[in-house]
Every structure is written in C-alpha cells, then in structure tokens.
Chain A
Amino acid sequence: MLWVAFALMTGAAILCALWPLSRRRSGPEGQARAIAFHKAQLAEIDRDVERGQLPPSEAAGARAEAARRLIAASDVAKTTAGAGDGRASLRARAAVVIVFVAIPLVTFGLYLKLGSPNLPDQPILARAGAAGNGDLGAALAKIEAHLIADPNDGRGFKVIAPVYMRLGRFDDAAKAFGEALRLLGEDAPMRADYGEALTAAAGGIVTAQARAAFEQALTDRGDLPKARYYIGLAAEQDGDKPKATAIYQKLLADGPAGAPWLANVRERLAGLEAAPAAPGGEAAAIAALDPAAQQSAIRGMVERLAERLAQNGDDAQGWLRLIRAYGVLHETDKARDALVQARKAMTGNETAGRDLDALAREFGLGS
C-alpha cells in the first residue's frame, strides 16, 4: 500500500516536470506572448484614463514607456525567429530521459537510505487503545494535577508510581514510590518496588541506594522474591558469582510453579553458567548508557565494591579492582585510603603485596 502511494507520487512528480515539454512551443511564439502582454498593458492604460484613475499627463508617459518596451520585444522576436527547431526537439527528448531517470533515482536512493518504510504510524491514542486503558495521558495528567494540589496523598503516589514504571519514566517512578513510602509508612513489597525503580533509573545497575532498599525490604519480609532477585543481581554485578548463583538457585527452588519471574531468573542463571569469565553482560549494559548515566553506574559499582571489602577484606582481586577503579576515576585520595586498607588486610600475603606495589606505582600513589 505504502509503495503504491510512493509509485503514484513519483509518477505525479515526473508528469509535473515533463508537462511543459509536452506542449509544443517555439521561440517566436513566446516572444509573441511578450508582445501581446505589452499590448495589453497599453490597453489597460487607456481603460484607466477612461475611468479617471490615471491623469492624462501621466498616461502619456506610461504609454511611451510601454510602447518603447513593445518595440524592444519585437526586436528580440525578429532576431530569435530563425532559431533551429530540430535541435530543440532533440533537447526535449534528452530532458525527458534525464527527468525520467533522475527523479526516481534521487528519490528512491535517498529514501531507501533514510526512510523506515516498515515502521507504521504510532499515534498515542492508538497505542493507549492497544494497551487497553483508554486515554492514559489524560488520566495521568489528572492524577498529577491532583498530586500537585494535594502533595500529602500517599495513595495517589502509590497509584501513579507503577504507571510511571510502565511509561519508562523511572526517575518519576522512584520519586513517587519514595513519597508513597514516606506518607503511608514502611511496606516491604513497595520498598522493593522503590529499589526496582532506582535500578531501572540507573540503567539496570543496582546502585548502593537501591541495594539498601532491597535489604530493608528483606529485613521486613525475608522471602520477598523481587528483593532477593535484585540482591542476586547486585552480587552478579559485583562479580560475586557464587553468591549470585546461590541466590538464583534458591529463588528457583522456593518459587511457586508458574510464577512469571521464574523464566527471568533461569535466564540469568543460565547466563552465569554459560559465561563464567566474561562480565560481558554488564559491561555491555554500561557501554549502552549515555555518558552521565555511565559515570553514575560505574560509581555505583565502585561504591558497592568498597562496601563489600570494608565488611570482608579477604579478597586480593577485589582490592586491586577497587584501587584501579579509583585511579581511573582520578580519585587519588580514595585510592590512597584503599591502598592503606588493602595493605592492612593483605598482611602476610606476599603475591598480593607485590601486586599492590605494582599498582601503586602505576597510578603514582607513592609507597
């Protein structure tokens, strides 16, 4: 259908460009038109004088001027009268061929490169109808207006937050969940939703803030699958694969059969087992973010790593990664602190000590 429309439009354009060529006309005829025009002008002056719109003194000058141009036009007509006719028809044929080739070539060439012929229109009404919830925008605007008027309505925030999530407005969703929690009091599933919104806003990275939310949700309800899943994801993003695997496996074992999120957990687990060494998934996820989000995602990961090492310092690779990360982020002070702590934690481990020295030299952190 679309291509039929394109073909018709192209045809119309070609016809439009060629239409003047189809009308036979030669040089003298065109000049005759110019002569006729000047004659018409003379007649017009006479009419104006009759109607009294032009004073006679002015009309004389106007007539002289028009007559002068009439003579000039006739001169041109005489000189061009002898122009050859055969060449003209040859040129016309060449022009027809050029137009016939050039218009489709330019148009289709450019359109195929730039256009998206397979993408249908997606007006918002049709999309809202397809989602089965009428005029979503209007409903949303109504709730938003209500919340501006009454910013202490926790239930309103609770209703609107999941809608924001669905619309992909994750920052707004996180804010709304936060407000709902503040106004309605602690609620473990909602706390987990809050963490999920924060994670989504950070482009899928479980930030320290999000992690704190999941941990709080778990202290209230230890079996909350969503919170457990994200804690697992956080472990995976920290590079702590055994812990992540354990959490996912436990989730699968505990989960009621037919729960929609089981497939997701299985996928993650399969991903962990299939690619034991490659942190590719996460690196790719970070690489896909825009620079500002990238920065905050990386910082979130570094924060979590530092937290984990502060609790359990027996991880030489972890320390090396942390110091390197601070070095790359140009946070020299933090890197020095981490180096001191790492040396303390690694006393007695000679290989780790050597690695730390090498790293300290690499980033110029002193001894």
Chain B
Amino acid sequence: MIVEIGHYALTLALALALVQAIVPLWGTLRGDEGLASVGQSCALGQFVAIALSFGALVQAHLASDFSVLNVAENSHSAVPTIYKISGVWGNHEGSMLLWVLILAFFGALVAGLGRGLPLILRANVLAVQGFISAAFLAFILLTSNPFARLSPAPFEGRDLNPVLQDLGLAIHPPLLYLGYVGFSIVFSFAAAALIEGRIDAAWARFVRPFALVAWCFLTLGIAMGSYWAYYTLGWGGFWFWDPVENASLMPWLAGTAFVHSVAVMEKRDALKVWTIFLAILAFSFSLLGTFLVRSGVLTSVHAFASDPSRGVFILAILALFIGGALALFAWRAPMLKRGGLFAPISREGALVLNNLLLTTTCAGVLIGTLYPLALEQLTGEKITVGAPFFNMTCGVLLLMLCVVVPFGQSLAWKRGDLLGVAQRLSVAAAIGLCIFIALFATLRGGPVLAPIAAGLAIYIILGSLSEIAARVWRRGASLGVLFSRARGLPLSAWGSALAHIGVGVTLLGLAATAFGAETIASMRVGEPQNVGPYQVTFQSVASRPGPNYSEVVAKADIRSGGTIVASVEPAKRFFSARQTSTTQAGIATLWFGQLYISIGDQTGDGAVAARLYWKPLVTFIWLGACLMAFGGALSLADRRLRIGAPAPARSGSPAIAAR
C-alpha cells in the first residue's frame, strides 16, 4: 500500500510538472497573471508528491520490503540501518529519485520564497524548471522505475555494493546533487530571461544566492567524493582525472566562472550575455556528467547497472535542453540590452580574465574527457588521457589563474590602480617567491610544478589576507577601532577572502603531495618499517568478524623517534553476500599530514603486503575546499543578498562602490 502510494505520487508529480511547464508559459506569453501564477502552487504540490514518493521508498528500504525490485537488488535485511537509508540513493533508480526530489525542492524554494521576484520572471523560471522536472520524471518512470515490483518476493536481498557501505555514501551524493541541481535553477533563470528577452542587475541579484548555494554544495560534494575515494580505494590517491570526476569538475569550473561573472553583472550591469551563456554551460555540464555516468559509456562504481535505453533517453534530454537553450540563446541574446563598457584594469577586467582562464580550463577537461571516448567509438582504439595531460593543460592554466586571484580581489571596480595593488601585493609575492626558491633548492630534480604551486599558494593566502588588512588597517587606529572596522566590512568581502584563502590552502595541500613518501613493503609482525619521518610496526595481524563481513585487521603502531604517536588498524574486509572485498585504510592524522596504511593479501610465510604513505599537509586539500564553501556561505549571508536592497549601480566614486 505504501509502496504503491509512493509510485502513484511519482506519476502525479509528472502530471503536475507538465502543468507547471506549460500553463505558466502560456500565461506569460499572453500576459495573463492568473495562468502565470499556476506554476507556484504546482511547484509546491510537485515537491510534496515527490517527497511522499521518496519517503515511501525509504520506508520500503527500512522495512526490507523485498517485493520492491530496487530493495531486493540493493539491500539486505542484515545491513545496519544507516546503510539501509543511504542505500536508497546508493543505486541508479534511487539516486535519480533523490535528484528529482532536490530539483523539486529548489523549485519549491523559488515558488515559496521568491516573493521579491517579478511575477513574469518567476513564472518563466518555474516553467523551465517544470520542463526539466518532467523530463527527468519521465526518465525515471519509463526506464528506471524504483517502484518496480517482484512477485513472488525473494526472502533476502542481494546486499548493497560493499564499497558503498560507508558513511561517505550518506553524504557525498546528496551534497553533489544539491550542487548539480542548484545549477538547474540558474539555468532556468537564464532560460527565463531569454524567453522574456529582459535581463538586468536585479536578475543577477536574484540568481546569485541560488548560484552560490549550488556552488558551495558542489564544492563540498566534490571534496567529500575525493576524500571518500582517498580513504576507501586503498592506494592513497584523491583525484584520478577519471571521467566521472571530470564530469563533476566541469560544472564546478563553469559554476565558479558564473559566480564571478554574475558579480560583475550585479555591480556593473555588464557581461550579461556571457553570464547567461555560463549559466547554460554550467547546467549543460551537469547533464553531460549524468549522461557519461549513467549511460554505460563509462564503467565505474558510479555507473551502477547500465542500460542502453537509459543512455538514449538521457542523450535525448541532453539534446533537448542544451540544444533548446543554445537555440534560444542564439535567437534572443542579440536582442538583450548590452551593459556598459569597462576599463581592462579594474576588478571587472580581472574577473573577465578569471572567466577566460576558467572556461579554457573547462574546455581542456572536456577535451581530455571526451577525446578518448570519441576515439574508442570511432576507431576502437583505447587510450587513456591521464594526469600528465591534465597537469600540463589545466594545471598550468589554473596556476596562471592563481597569479591573478589576489589582483582581482584587490582592484577596485570600474577603474583600478594596478601599480598600487601591485605594491600592496609585493610582500605576499616576495614571500611566495622565497618559498618557491627554498623548496626548489632543497628538492632538486623533483617535479617543477610542486614548488611553483607551493609558492603560489602562499602568495594567494597572504594576498587575500592583505586585502582584508588593507581595508581594516588605518594608521594610528586603536585595536577597538580596527575590530569595529573589521566587523563593518561586508560579509561578502570576508567571504571572497576566505574562499580565495581556501584556494591557496588546497593548492598548498596539492603541492605538498610531491614531498611525501611512499613504501610498498612486505610487513612482518614486530619488524619496523620507515616511511617519511615515521616508523611503522605491525603489532598483530588477525581475523575478526563484522556484522555482514569478515576482516583481516593489522594493528599498527606509528613511532616518531621511538615514542608512539598514533595507532591505526588497517583492514581488508570480505563480504560473503557479494563475494567481494574492500580495503579499509588505516589513517592517522598527524598535524595536517596523514600517515596512510593499507594492507593487501597475506603471503604464505606470515607476512602481509602493505602500502605505507606519508602525506604531509594532505588534509589541506579538503580543508581548503571547506574554507571555499564557508566563504561562499558567508557571501550568501551578506545583507544585500538577504533583503535584496539594491546597491549603487553607477553612482558614487569607484572607491565607494568597492566597499
């Protein structure tokens, strides 16, 4: 009964999405407000229906109702409750349902909270959102129905993929989806602006909070996914330039560019067409990622069961939305009123440079991801485009971007003083340079990029700090005055500074990977092994049963100069229901670095194969991402975004506008 109600609610949601897509659009085209406002209640109703449906699926998983195919294939009555819940989206059908749930949630947000939005804009946004929703609901119902039933039902489920039986599954997909789907709202706003043929600074103000929310969640989602891969795959890597990862990086790059260009649009009423284009691009990359991951083009842990009919369906959705949006763009963009021109040496000029570099990087990732796939389809030849390609294209571009970041932050709007800014940044640059030279001199023969990246990282962090310091500092002011000045700074200034510091911190963590140590050893109990500045000794290696697996656990002590600093328990787990094993790395966080131990098979003579890594500052990679997201959140909490009071567009001196 509950399952069927959930199923029915899903079909009802599709019907509501269709009404939401068509009726408001008809209303805005005819200038009829009654029809145009239908979208709001439909969006709310659709969210309720999908939430009901999702709740029913969660209930089926919790109750281990194996008459539901999705539960029988991806759950097991013995799985701990937390994995019963996260197992709902640990499979293709359930994750698509989560996707539309979040889509409907954002739609409901626009409908419920967008009271300040002009009516026509809101109606069009909801209509486009309705189209996206309808397309994905049809996809779910027709090709990947989570409510397909089994009769007779099996007595036991086939268990969740052991790699996914991890807390990471509970967090990573919802975060990532909040990001991906958040960009769908940005896309809807862009399409709505094109339909209406009107776009202004107010549009930028309304869309910016959604873009920031999406960007923050996408940042956290990618970081979480990377950390999960790091601790669960057992070889210490955190980013593999795998197509699935690139699929999430591309929307992030486009989204980052968008967040910056929309700021220009809000402040200076410029870059309108480009901003619209970026909005389309960001969501297109989200869709492309969905297609790559779910169509069976790639084999990966994310692909789940692939099915050609799904691939064709997603390809159709992809063509419809990207093609439709670009056609609308080609038709309408020339009619949009252009914004003012601006000087190259200004904050907006720096942001344009930022946009160029980010989109070029994005293009690099796109080529590196699609080229091997295209080549394989055309010639059958399998090639791998790996880290060297991406490091030399995207890596170098992003390092160039890093040089510009503190400048963009410090330059004033409209007309900037490059010399003054350069003077202010010279201290940061000098310290960064010293770090580079010191590292380069001590680590001769190592990778060149690493010392450069480390120097740049320090330069960005100090540069961002100096920007804040320059705004707060007044000669001779007391500490109290400085404190109140710091409090008086707009939150968005703190936000952007923090986010850029986050970039520097992540970069530092990435650069530090080159200075780590790695040993692959055959470890015997009691025999110490050196890795980096530490000694690792296995105290014991023994078998141990778990709730639905059995594992071999090594107890390892980590010593520094004879004293034990940490103990870890790397393990290898075997899941009998699926006949597969997983590695549980033993990770000890020592300051910001980590000692990482993963064990392999036991050799006959009592030894166990183990990989030992010392990774200095590795946690900076993810801490930096958290800082970026936190910066975004601060910027989101800024007053002008909360109450929508317009800031001066062209009045006042540039110095005031910058504040």
Q: Who on chain B is nearest to A29 by CB?
A: B33
Q: Mark A74-109, 1 if CB is under 8 A from B, else 0.
A: 000000100100011001100100110011101100
B12 within 8 A of A: yes
A122 within 8 A of B: yes
Within 8 A of A (CB), among B496-554: 545, 547-548, 550
B15 in contact with A91 (CB, 8 Å): no
Once the chains are docked, how many angstroms separate the CA of A30 from the CA of B2? Answer: 42
Q: Mark A96-134, 1 if CB is under 8 A from B, else 0.
A: 001100111011001100111101111111010000000
Number of A-B contacts (CB under 8 A): 212
A26 within 8 A of B: yes
Minimum CB–CB distance from A42 to chain B (whole Å) comes to: 9
A115 in contact with B652 (CB, 8 Å): no
A137 within 8 A of B: yes
Partner of A167, one of B32, B155, B645: B155
Once the chains are docked, how many angstroms separate the CA of A111 from the CA of B15? Answer: 11
A294 within 8 A of B: no
Once the chains are docked, how many angstroms separate the CA of A341 from the CA of B617? Answer: 73
Minimum CB–CB distance from B125 to chain A (whole Å) comes to: 16
A116-B38 contact in complex given A34-B118, A124-B66, C-beta closer than 8 Å: no
A57-B656 contact in complex given A62-B647, A80-B31, C-beta closer than 8 Å: yes
B57 within 8 A of A: no
A20 in contact with B41 (CB, 8 Å): yes
A114 in contact with B11 (CB, 8 Å): yes
Interface size on A, residues (CB 8 A): 78
Within 8 A of A (CB), among B13-58: 14-16, 18-19, 23, 26-27, 30-35, 37-38, 40-42, 44-45, 49
B338 within 8 A of A: no
Once the chains are docked, how many angstroms separate the CA of A37 from the CA of B35? Answer: 21
Query: Chain B interface: which of A6-14, A188-196, A264-272?
Result: A6-14
Within 8 A of B (CB), among A4-62: 5-6, 9-10, 12-13, 16-21, 23-27, 29-30, 33-34, 37, 41, 44-45, 48, 53-54, 57-58, 60-62
Q: Mark B609-648, 1 if CB is under 8 A from A, else 0.
A: 0000000000000000000000000000001000111111
Once the chains are docked, how many angstroms separate the CA of A17 from the CA of B4? Answer: 23
A122-B67 contact in complex given A2-B4, A19-B41, C-beta closer than 8 Å: yes
B550 in contact with A65 (CB, 8 Å): no
Once the chains are docked, how many angstroms separate the CA of A72 from the CA of B154? Answer: 66
Q: Which residues of chain A are near B547, meaning CB under 8 Å?
A: 141, 145
Once the chains are docked, how many angstroms separate the CA of A41 from the CA of B116? Answer: 10
A58 in contact with B659 (CB, 8 Å): yes
Q: Which residues of chain A are near B304, meaning CB under 8 Å?
A: none
B42 in contact with A66 (CB, 8 Å): no
Q: Which residues of chain B are near A115, meaning CB under 8 Å?
A: 4, 7-8, 11, 147
Between B12, B60, B652, the greatest number of chain A beta carbons within 10 A of the residue's beta carbon is seen for B12
A166 within 8 A of B: yes
A107 in contact with B202 (CB, 8 Å): no
Q: Who on chain B is nearest to A16 by CB?
A: B45
Minimum CB–CB distance from A278 to chain B (whole Å) comes to: 27
Q: Who on chain B is nearest to A124 by CB?
A: B64
Q: Which residues of chain A are near B15, meaning CB under 8 Å?
A: 13, 102-104, 106-107
Chain B residues within 8 Å of A, Cβ to Cβ: 1-5, 7-9, 11-12, 14-16, 18-19, 23, 26-27, 30-35, 37-38, 40-42, 44-45, 49, 60, 63-67, 77-78, 116, 118-119, 141, 145, 147-149, 151, 153-156, 202, 545, 547-548, 550, 639, 643-649, 651-652, 656-657, 659
17 of the cross-chain contacts (CB-CB < 8 Å) are A25-B37, A33-B119, A60-B651, A61-B647, A64-B648, A64-B651, A110-B14, A110-B141, A119-B151, A124-B63, A124-B66, A125-B64, A127-B153, A137-B77, A137-B156, A168-B156, A169-B156
Please provide the 7 A-B residue pairs with the shortest distance between their CB atoms, ordered closest to farther.
Answer: A61-B648, A123-B63, A16-B45, A137-B77, A65-B646, A124-B64, A61-B651
